[in-house]
Amino acid sequence: MNVSMTLTALQGIPLIRPGDDLGEILWYALMSNGITLQDGDILVIAQKIVSKAEGRLVNLSEITPSAQAEELARLTSKDARFVELVLRESRAVLRYRPGTLIVEHRWGFVCANAGIDHSNVEGLYGNPEDWVLLLPEDPDASARRIRAALRERSGVNLGVLIIDSHGRAWRLGTVGVCIGVAGVPALVDLRGHPDLFGYQLRVTQVAAADELAAAASLIMGQADEKRPVVHVRGFPYPLRESSFSELRRPEEQDLFR
C-alpha cells in the first residue's frame, strides 16, 4: 500500500494585525491557493500569527522589572524588562547563564525565554526594538477556535496545530514543536502493537503532533519567507480530540531537570 503525505505552504497570507479574524483569513487563503478542505486535513499554523491576531504584543517601555528580574538580568546579560515578562509567563526558572534563560512555561513545556520573541515583530508605535511578542494566552483554545471557524465554513472534520521553534536538551538547533492542538492526536500510543517479528512494543509512544510540526516548520522557514501556514493531507493517524497535555512529560520523569 502506497502511503504519502502532502504539505503545502499557503501563499498570500497577509501581515497579521491585532484583532484580525484568523479563521476568515485562512479560509480565503485556502480558496486562493486552490485547496478545498477534506476530512482528515490539518492546518499547521505558526504561533507568531496567532499571537499577533490575539494582541499579544507588549512594549518593554511599559514594563517595570521586579527585584528578581533585575538580578536574573544581571546574571544573564538580558534586559530586565524582558526578563520580567519571561517570569510572568513562567512557572519556574530552570537554568540560566549569560545569554540564556530556560524556563518552564505556565503551560508546562520547557523553552528559552518563555517563547517571547523579538523577530518579525512590528510595533504599534515608538521604538521598534521595544516590542516583543508573547505566546498565545491559551494555545489549545486558540487551535480550537480556528478549527471551529473552519469546520463551520467547510463542514469537514479537520485538525489544527499551533507550532513554535524550540531547542532540545541533547541536540543543537531548533525544531518545530506543537504548543497547541485541536482535533489531532498529540501522542499516539503504540504499546502492545506487534513489530515486524511479532514482538509486542512496550514503550513506544509517537509524538505525532511534534513530528508533523517539525515537517511543517521545514517549509515555513524561520526568517522572511512569509509562509506561516501549512496545509497537510495524508496524516497517517486518525484525527481525534486531544490537547497539548498529552505531550507534557511529568516532572518526576524528566531527567533533564
Q: What is the pLDDT of residues 138-185, one digit of tens each?
A: 999 999 999 999 999 999 999 999 999 998 888 899 999 999 999 999
CATH for the stretch 57-133 = 3.90.1660.10
**Given a cut of 90, is residue 94 above it in pLDDT?**
yes
* Alpha-helix runs per DSSP H in the chain: 22-32, 47-53, 67-76, 80-88, 139-154, 208-220
On the 0-12 / 13-18 / 19+ scale of CB atoms within 10 A, 2 is exposed
Q: How far apart are CA 105 and CA 120, in angstroms?
A: 21
**Given a cut of 80, is residue 12 above it in pLDDT?**
yes
Quote the percentage of the chain above a pLDDT of 90.
Answer: 77
Contact between 193 and 231 under an 8 Å Cβ cutoff? The reply is no
CATH for the stretch 6-51+137-246 = 3.30.1330.100
**Given a cut of 80, is residue 124 above it in pLDDT?**
no
On the 0-12 / 13-18 / 19+ scale of CB atoms within 10 A, 190 is middle
pLDDT digits (tens, 9 = 90+) for 29-75: 999 999 999 999 999 999 999 999 999 999 999 999 999 999 999 99
Residue ranges per domain, the chain? Answer: 6-51+137-246, 57-133
176: left (phi over 0), alpha (psi -120 to 50) or beta: beta
Mean pLDDT rounded to a whole number for the chain? 91
Neighbours of 230 (CB within 10 A): 25
